[in-house]
Structure 1
């Protein structure tokens, strides 16, 4: 067992104690461990200042950092703009360290700079998904109590409605409003670009990330400057291994911690650059842009890789070398389809908003079919029973994780469900083999128990996806008097396929030849699309709704 490493603390710079005062009680806090040398973070550390300082120390000041179809900013140019945003927030808006700032926008240079400017100033970034409606934004405003928002000009309407209902949000700054004298860029033009980063304690709050809502009411996960810096020394250093020459592309939103890490923080840590498109990604557009931009690293969800495969095979992706899949389980059928189309072995990973990023993964050279991978250096993981006792290898149980990051919900009774005896319980059912590889079975609440047998929905989904008629599918358990539960599949067929009784039998027989017979779906429903979150996660709880 790894021993916790004591880490120095410093006085907080955040005079607004709103978030600090609403953290879980000591008994419900996760135990944080810093077992690797790079995780010995100074007591006083500002995440954004540290990332820029690292880039300049390594001679990357003039290298590209942020790219789009209109402009490319070097690290030095980006820093000046970040400082100007911090000046607007502190000088014009009169914000003080610890105040929350709501951010609303898709993936763009403007959104990235705004996030960095907020954290550079010692404020707390509260990024929100661009597709959220006024009601959902209102719930976040009510919980986080931001007084200032920075919003993409194209997304103002829903935020304005939420602002009326929640007047605590007093000021809305807009960006991408070219020609408007109140555009954030215009306000920044009046600033010097000289700003001293807030001297935050490493344990001061950098961000609040609201869960993407696959299981109902969103929760606010709180992360410190230390959390994010420690995360950089785990998966990015030991598995991803990006270089300053890398150009990163991907679809995960910056409001999603998978996207924030992959599409901003981790490239900065490596001295690499990120490309944000001026158009919405479709599978074909992404494949074409990968070649046009010369992207070497791609992040997206398994469903998108599956849809991209045909275009990758058609157009080629010659510069691409690393493809990261996360956000939901990666079916082996999708992994093999992508590998056949591109020759690239995908880098799978499981992480959590509550843990900030990936904690189980495997580099391409270490992939074992069907497994997500091994625990990432810096973390410890085990599979346990309902009492928290580790189960024998090869036995299905609940995943428990401990490391340099952990779950701290803002004023939420569900903290006690996630953290037990210092360990984090992400809510996943896993199996670990004798070699330490972890095999995802299902979300713990998605495990189907039929006639005494445990069936993981993702396993059945993977089998169905191997059939050439199936485009997408979701598998759930539904009540049954005789068996307790039965397996039900909700299937999207490929164009030209007919969802009739003959197709039902064809797919059932296919699963029976692939998996143990008790795992086949006794019910199959054909639909035109599946409910997914903005980050691509399948919302199984909606499949279970009448």
Structure 2
């Protein structure tokens, strides 16, 4: 029999107080009550605003209003607490794609005062096992189509005692079928605002994922920052996108932030392709879209062909937005993309600008509620126009679960997301690269994303990744790995043409001295380019009887 006492597993494994980020709640709207349940607060806001009977979750087979979704969340909470004996603070692993059922499962978990540990749907048994080992969940809620890998992980990690399927399970064990037998009258768990609501594993762009935890207060404060001041969604908005709900970019954009605004979200039953996403957005009347730059680039031809007349906001985040992609999407839709930089550790976006405030080449300005600066290695702010490390402070911040990397992310109360930036005299922030992706060649700083943007302007290049590789003479040289559009051949002549194109587009010393061609680039499930794998040679080479061609044309002096 489980103890009725709350489970302090996560709280006991948080960083010591001196390693925490400083959390600031400088704006009136950031004052969150000390007792707050995130899910209850969102439904309560919908009711107070008169949106409780408006649609929240839209799908191909059923639409749930806010009132219906609240009752369903309560019934799921009753399944978890009454049938499985879970107590506040227990972790529940969630495995599923972006579906109505996955969203309801997440809401039910947090409503019950449990900690949601959502996982990417493409993870394999070994990766799931690592998460189970870290989070120690005793129960998982899993899309019936994704059971096999989780069951394989369960066999190696018996702490996961039970798996409850949802969405496609053929028998009465299905989560929503079991929830039908519950009254749905249990009130939300009266969690403290500083209780943990979720554990989010980073996407692994630089190696082993880290477990970032966020409280109910963190997420509610996040709702009062970027969504309020930059996005400005309304109850009439219909939202859709590709970021997984297991990724905080997706969780915020495709569930929490629409709920905060009283809007609705459309979830498909199947993963998107660029074409099907554009068709769905048109047919469902989507007004706000979320995805990564690579996906927008692939969607642009279809958007231009069929049109998206109701779309009014397109949000890009997850990786650097090349200006070439921004202009391609604007040409296809007439929409000035809303760029943003956020982090799993910070929950969501903290630098962004929209509409008329967009400045070409910049991500934007710091979001109200946050403070950001560009600093040197000692944490001192550098002059405007100088490359340095981004440091951020605000109402959210990094709290890793028992991870020595906390000391690298948080220094003197400031969060260091690991990005190199330049800030101009007007306060706009210009992304350069990840800290560890800055290429220092012959004394010059070169940001890989700037070179990528130049390459993407060439008609032969579909996507590319730029890294630095060791060089005896220069310390490092710039290397580009390019995926070509159909009809183009990756040979030495094209490599030289791409080098010349870059020299003509940006400062000549930034051109790639090595150009390789590949059929695909290594990316995370959220679409982020894994440059560390490029450095390990993990790109899929173009089929060729000989090694992929490279070129090292003579240096052009700046």
Query: Which interval holds the TM-score relative to the shorter structure?
Result: over 0.9
- Secondary structure of 1:55's partner? helix
2:397 counterpart of 1:406: yes
Aligned to 1:459: 450
- 1:179: how far off? 3.7
> Which residue is 1:60 aligned to?
51
Asked if structure 1 preserves the Cα contact closer than 8 Å seen for 2:353 and 2:363, the reply is yes
State yes or no: 1:428 paired with 2:419. Answer: yes
Candidates 430, 442, 466, aligned match of 2:433: 442
Equivalent in the alignment of 2:183? 192
Alignment match of 1:94 (pick from 85, 106, 113): 85
Instruction: Give the one of 350, 360, 365 matched to 1:369.
Output: 360
Checking the alignment, whether the CA contact within 8 Å between 1:14 and 1:122 is kept in structure 2 is no
User: Which residues in structure 2 correspond to 1:226-237 (within 5 Å)?
Assistant: 226-237=217-228
Distance in 2 of aligned mates of 1:501 and 1:61? 62
Shift of 1:26: 1.1
- CA offsets per residue over residues 78-136 of structure 1, 9 Å max, x none? 11110000000000000000000000000001100010100000000000000000000
In the other structure, the counterpart of 1:23 is: 14
CA contact (8 A) 1:250 1:299 kept: yes
Give the secondary structure class of the aligned counterpart of 2:42.
Answer: helix
Q: Report the 3-state secondary structure (helix = DSSP H, G, I; strand = E; otherwise coil) of the residue aligned with 2:470.
A: strand
Is 1:169 equivalent to 2:160 in the alignment?
yes
- Judge conservation of contact 1:244–1:271 (CA < 8 Å) in 2: yes
Scaled by the length of structure 1, what TM-score is found?
Answer: 0.97
- Counterparts of 2:50 and 2:92 in 1: how far apart (Å)? 32
8 Å contact from structure 1 (residues 14, 200) kept in 2: no
Whole-Å separation in 2 of the counterparts to 1:358 and 1:274: 19
Structure 2 counterparts to residues 85-484 of structure 1, below 5 A: 85-484=76-475
- Give the C-alpha shift of residue 364 in structure 1: 1.6
TM-score (norm 2): 0.95
Cα RMSD, aligned residues only: 0.8
Distance 1:388 1:285 in 2: 46
- Residues in 2 aligned to 1:370 and 1:185: alpha-carbon distance in whole angstroms: 47
SS in structure 2 opposite 1:102?
A: strand
Give 1:177 deviation, angstroms: 2.7
Contact 1:287 1:312 in 2 (8 A): yes
Give the Cα–Cα distance (whole angstroms) in 1 for the partners of residues 186 and 237 of structure 2: 29
Matches within 5 A, 1:532-543: 532-543=523-534
| SS in structure 1 at match of 2:163 | strand
Matched residues in 1 for 2:356 and 2:75: separation? Answer: 44
User: Is the 1:384–1:398 Cα contact (8 Å) retained in structure 2?
Assistant: yes
Q: Which runs of 5+ in 2 are unaligned?
A: 538-558
Counterpart CA distance in 2 for 1:386 and 1:177 is: 52
CA contact (8 A) 2:352 2:364 kept: yes
**What is the number of equivalent residue pairs in this alignment?**
534
**Gaps (5+ residues) in structure 1?**
1-12
Report the CA distance between 1:189 and its aligned residue. Answer: 1.3
CA distance in 2 between counterparts of 1:508 and 1:177 reads 51
> How much has 1:178 moved relative to structure 2?
4.6
Cα deviation for residue 409 of structure 1 reads 0.1
1: distance between equivalents of 2:82 and 2:526? 35
Cα distance between partner residues in 1 of 2:399 and 2:20: 7
User: Whole-Å Cα distance in 1 between the matches of residues 434 and 5 of structure 2?
Assistant: 37
Quote the Cα distance in structure 2 between the aligned partners of 1:252 and 1:175. Answer: 20
Partner of 1:7: none
Counterpart secondary structure, 1:255: coil
CA distance in 2, matches of 1:244, 1:195: 27
8 Å Cα contact 2:462/2:484 also seen in 1? yes
**Which of these residues, 517, 521, 536, is aligned with residue 526 of structure 1?**
517
Alpha-carbon displacement from aligned partner over 1:143-188 (angstroms, at most 9, x marks no partner): 0000000000000000001111100000111101354111111211
Matched position secondary structure for 1:528: strand
Q: CA deviation at 1:14?
A: 7.4
